[in-house]
Amino acid sequence: MSTESGETYGQQRHLLSKMWRVLREILIVLIIAVGLSLLIKTFFFRAYYIPSGSMEQTLQIDDRIFANLMVPGPFDLQRGDVVVFRDDDAWLPPIAVEQNGVQKALSFIGLLPEQDEQYLVKRIIGMPGDVVECCGSDGKLTVNGTAIDEPYVFPGDAPSDIAFSVTVPEDHLWVLGDHRAASADSRYHMDRNGGFVNIATVQGKAQVISWPMNRWGVVDAHNEVFDAVPSPASN
């Protein structure tokens, strides 16, 4: 082999070695990124899509949110929290959703919502043991006899156009949408488990609006609305 051929061969080997190092680094970064995404999806946060206006104006149609999966769990639920829960009681009609390969992959690692599962997003109004009623003589919703002012309710909506008085059973929640006139929430499903949501179906607390970019921000729980509400009488 001539000296020139040897040099060319050496340059090619060097180039291939350099390309392999770059490719290996890219693969390592991708593996770590996917691993972290799966870890985050499994234990910390998951993406969800808002398809309706039932939570306006807190959440808008087509918003993408991240829910904190550590609630309930290490962190407790509170009145006012906006929660994502499984539709175990069939509040929603069945849907058929088709996803392409890329969408399925992004859903798998938690960067897109799961399109083949049914979830709802509502605000917690009543915790276990609470007596929730609407409406009092002043037209306000009451929790354990205390009237509350609800700044998150859609402008022009009444606290409820449906009269109700419920006592939330153990391990369950009473939930309402912020757009009361456009939300088929606990009030509309009292024929199914009393309209109560089993805490075991709660996937997490809506924490952040991630999309569209002009709506980036934290989902306000307005827990302060319930500061004056006493503990349930049974406690």
Q: Which residues are catalytic?
A: 54, 122
Spatial separation of the C-alpha atoms in residues 117 and 41, rounded to whole Å: 15
Spatial separation of the C-alpha atoms in residues 65 and 57, rounded to whole Å: 14
What DSSP string runs through 122-137? EEEEE-TT-EEEE--T
Q: Quick check: 205 and 82 in contact, CB under 8 A? A: yes
Q: Is the N-terminal amide bond of 72 cis, ω within 30° of 0? A: yes
Structure-block tokens of residue 118: 């049914």
Q: Quick check: 158 and 139 in contact, CB under 8 A? A: yes
Q: Quick check: 209 and 55 in contact, CB under 8 A? A: no
Sign of the torsion formed by the C-alpha atoms of 71, 89, 110 and 112: negative
DSSP reduced 3-state for 36? helix
Write down how long the chain is: 235
Strand partners, 107: none
What DSSP string runs through 188-219? GGTTTGGG-EEGGGEEEEEEEEEESGGG-EEP
